Amino acid sequence: MSRIGKLPIPIPEGVTVKWDKPVLFIKGPKGELQVEIKPYVDVVVEDGSIQVTRPDDSRTSRSCQGLYRSLVDNAVSGVTRGFEKKLEIVGVGYRAEVSGDVLKLSLGFASVKEYPIPEGITINVEKEVISISGIDRQKVGNVAARIRAYRPPEPYKGKGVRYQGEQIRRKAGKAAVGGQT
């Protein structure tokens, strides 16, 4: 049996859960999320907790139980606490600013890169740190990955956009060749 899949998800105070096959509606203080559940697993909402069970022992049901349990758990924690990712901008002249609903990035290119901020995501810029927050964990991670993809950190000087705390494997530059005569 799945170790993660069999764990019950406690429903925090102030969160309401409604199971309307095939969609699980989760509403909390920060917003509302929906998780579409495939028929490979069943959801039981009772006694202040959510239990993801499987109807049979087929390979698909076993593999989906842990997945859907994690998706529901992320939705519950998203509507209560929310999620945040931070990106660091490293490089001379590299900067970012939020203008309306667009993130403008100056990353050493000839033109400024503009990233439209999706609905449900808030972006704040403080010096060289971009904070991306929202209630949907997948959307927050996707936005952070797309922004990082504009200028990923390069291995020689380490310039670019990186996740906060990310370690960049540095390479040595060209070695000077002995004098040729």
What would the pLDDT profile of 139-163 be if each residue is shown by its tens digit?
999 999 999 999 999 999 989 999 9
How far is Cα 164 from Cα 82, in angstroms, rounded to an integer? 18
Strands 23-28 and 31-36, sheet pairing: antiparallel
Residue 178: the pLDDT is: 63
Query: Is domain 9-80 in CATH 3.40.190.80, yes or no?
Result: no
Q: Determine contact, residues 109/95, Cβ cutoff 8 Å.
A: no
Q: So what's the pLDDT on residue 3?
A: 85
pLDDT, tens digit, for every residue of 48-61? 999 999 999 999 99
Domain residue spans of the chain? 9-80, 83-163
**What are the residue ranges in the chain where pLDDT is below 70?**
1-2, 176, 178-181
Answer yes or no: are the C-beta atoms of 105 and 150 closer than 8 Å: yes
Phi-psi region of 158 (alpha: psi -120 to 50; beta: other; left: phi over 0): left
Indicate if 83-163 has the same CATH topology as 9-80: yes
pLDDT at position 181 = 57
CATH architecture for the domain at 83-163: Alpha-Beta Complex (3.90)
Q: Are 130 and 147 in contact (CB under 8 A)?
A: yes
Whole-prediction pTM value?
Answer: 0.88
- How does strand 160-163 pair with strand 83-90? antiparallel
